[in-house]
Structure formats: structure tokens, C-alpha cells
Amino acid sequence: MAEFHFFASANDVEGIFASLSERGDLRFIPARSYPTDQYISLKGVRTETERALSQNRCWYITGSFTKEPVYMQKIADSHFSIGEQYDGPVISLRMPPLNRIEDGKHRFVNGNLSHPREYWDRQITSARRVPLDVKSAYADIIKTIKLHLLRRKFGKNIWIGRSASKMIDDEKALIRINGHWWDGKGNHFFKPDILGQS
């Protein structure tokens, strides 16, 4: 799996979606359970209502690299979901969760952009390597996302949204890296947490 990890605040997420939507060459499918094999496909994700269409902050991106119909796999209770391991293909974007802790500070856990190393080709019933145009689109989407990020070090180098970075410096947020929570002064502590790992 090719993965690009990043951290972002609500403002950063809004800006990232705006820049991706303005490109005009991408479409966005919200990850959710569908009652039929017909899915929602948006030209952009610009409003809170549109962002809420995804049940788990995950979106499947399609574009000129998507040569075949997106595969809808049957799941429990006769519902369907996107089969991201199948040809299409799609690129997955999981936005960071936006959470708060008891003392009012935000907690930042990473999101990511990813695609499988191989897709299952239904026509030849065999796995095949990810096409070069998917790799190119993936790299280009990362460039767009990075317009809203900067490079910082919290034990290791990471990509983080400008708004999120300022919130950490202003002591309004903590960031989770390798199971530890970090503040803007470089202090960190370990605390198991159900919000996720990075």
C-alpha cells in the first residue's frame, strides 16, 4: 500500500477539500454503506453537508486514471460499498478525525492518502500492478494537499496543516505520534487512546 500521512485541523481540511475540488479533474465518492450498487459521485466537496456524506471521513477519488466502472461489493444486509482493491481504480483519501479531549484541547491524529500496490482485474481474474497513471495522479494529489501543509518534527518529521501547527504552538492542541502525545514545546507522554494510531 502506498500511503502519504498528514495531520490537519478542521480549517486545514476545509482548505484541502477546496483545493482538490477546484482542480476540476477529480470526482469524490463518499465511503458509506449504499442500499443499491449505485454510488454518489461529487465534482467537489465544499460544504459541511457534503463532507458529512462520508460515514468515516474516507473518500474514494476517481479521475482520468479510472478506466473501468468502480466496483461495488456486496456487504451485510444486502448493502454495497466501494471495493477499493478492485480495478476502476480509485485512490483513497481518509481525512484526519477531528476530536477534543476533556481539558478542551484538540487532539490531532493522522489522515492519509493511499492506493493499493496491486488491483484485482475482474476481466482477467488476476492481480495486476497499479498503472503508472494512478501513480502519477496520486503524486499530483499529494502536491495539492501539501499546499496546505508544512514540515515539522515531533520525534520524527511529519506533514501537518498550518492551522493545526499553530494550534499546537498556541497550546490549544496535542498531536499523536507513534503512540505518544506531543505538545508544541516538545514534551510528550504515552497514553493508550482509542482515537487511533499514527
pLDDT average per 10 residues of sequence, the chain (198 residues): 94 96 96 92 92 90 92 86 83 87 83 89 76 94 98 95 96 91 87 49
Give the C-alpha separation, 7 to 162, whole Å: 10
Residue 102: its pLDDT value, please?
57
DSSP assigned state of 99? E
According to DSSP, the residues that pair with 34 across neighbouring strands are 80
Domain boundaries, the chain: 2-190
Q: Are 1 and 117 in contact (CB under 8 A)?
A: yes
* CA-to-CA dists, residue 17 to 47, 100, 127, angstroms: 9, 22, 31
One-letter amino acid for residue 171 of the chain: E
What grid cell was written down for 193? 487512546
Residue 195: its pLDDT value, please?
45
Residue 88: its pLDDT value, please?
76
Reported pTM: 0.88
Residue 86: its pLDDT value, please?
74
Residue 194: its pLDDT value, please?
43
What grid cell was written down for 88? 476502476
What grid cell was written down for 25? 479533474
The set of long-range contacts for 121-125, using a CB threshold of 8 Å and a minimum separation of 24, is 121/87, 122/68, 122/71, 122/86, 122/87, 123/87
Residue 40: its pLDDT value, please?
94
Residue 77: its pLDDT value, please?
78
